[in-house]
Amino acid sequence: MAELSDKQLKIGIWWVTHKHQLKKWWVMMIAVGDVLLFLYLLFNIIVIIFTWNRFVSIPSEIATSHLNFRNYQLLNAPKNLQVISTKYIPVFGQANKYHLLAELKNPNEKWTIGSLDYHFNFSGKDQDIQHSFLLPQEQRFIIQYNVETTAAKPNLQLLIDHVGWQRIERPAEAPALKFDIRNIESSQIPLLDDKGKVISNYSTRVTAEVENKSVYNFWQVNFQVLLFRGNDPIALGEVKIEKFLALETRDLAVSWIESYPVVSKILIQPVVNVHDPDALFKSTPTEIAPLSD
């Protein structure tokens, strides 16, 4: 039988003399663990008892949405299109003919009217349906030319048939019109007869400079020109500028055969749907020359 070393003997003697003490500590550790486990379970049972009603209501609260979608829709819905005024202007030199006007406003910043269907009722007669648009926060006139009526005192109504709203998610980044209209002048031009001699009548001519300060090239921009005497429009005309490039300045001129020597205000309003991709082009269009033989 192999002899035990001194180290092994010391370990054996220590184990024999401390065996009962180690067993006691081991039992105490197990007891402490049992007590801690019991306290943990007791704590959770107490928490469940006092929060049971709240606990069982959680699934139903998850299933029930607290967001009031009805209020959300009402808060974010577009405000109604505003009809500021309706007016008519007699056509010069043509009895029983009038130009019909209505001033509209889109009060919304985040909504554009991509399609607007409307018609005038003039002295009880419905006119043909017209089509237009209105940009966010835009206020301008819509016009129907040369409408007949024999009524001594015509009355005018605007009827909206359809409004096609389109939401603009980021108004600050959306395309916008930036026309600088300046140097607006009205002048009386003498009329000439067939022989080139000046006659007593005069015509009216309005000129202006228009700068496209945006970064967009437009295939065509219509400009409506309205002359006012006080608050009432007395004449209107329209001119189209083709291929209006970004940062370009163009001359504008509109003439009337009749004389309007007293004009209190001249309103020039651009009419182009900047949100319509077909109204824009990215670069300057060039004409392709025919190939020579």
Calpha distance 19→124 (Å, rounded): 117
CA 79 to CA 114: how far, in whole Å?
15
Judged by DSSP in three states, 175 sits in coil
User: How would residue 49 be classed by pLDDT, with cut points 50, 70 and 90?
Assistant: confident
Specify the pLDDT at position 67.
59
User: Residue 62: its pLDDT value, please?
Assistant: 62
Phi, psi of 19 (to 5 degrees): -60, -50
Share of the chain above pLDDT 90, in %: 61
pLDDT digits (tens, 9 = 90+) for 111-127: 999 999 999 999 999 99
Q: Give per-residue pLDDT as tens, 147-204.
A: 999 999 999 999 999 999 999 989 888 889 999 999 999 999 988 777 767 776 889 9
Neighbour count for residue 112 (Cβ, 10 Å):
26
At residue 233, does pLDDT exceed 50?
Answer: yes
Is the pLDDT at 129 greater than 90? The verdict is yes
pLDDT digits (tens, 9 = 90+) for 235-292: 999 999 999 999 999 999 999 999 999 999 999 999 999 999 999 998 755 544 444 4
Q: Are 157 and 88 in contact (CB under 8 A)?
A: no
Residue 65 has pLDDT above 60, yes or no: no
Going by the DSSP 8-state scheme, the letter that residue 274 receives in this structure is T
Q: State the chain's maximal CA–CA distance in angstroms.
A: 152
Residue closest to 106 by CA, chosen among 161, 167, 46 = 167
Residue 278, by phi and psi: left (phi above 0), alpha (psi -120 to 50) or beta?
alpha
Q: State residue 154's pLDDT score.
A: 95
Task: Give 110's DSSP letter.
Answer: S
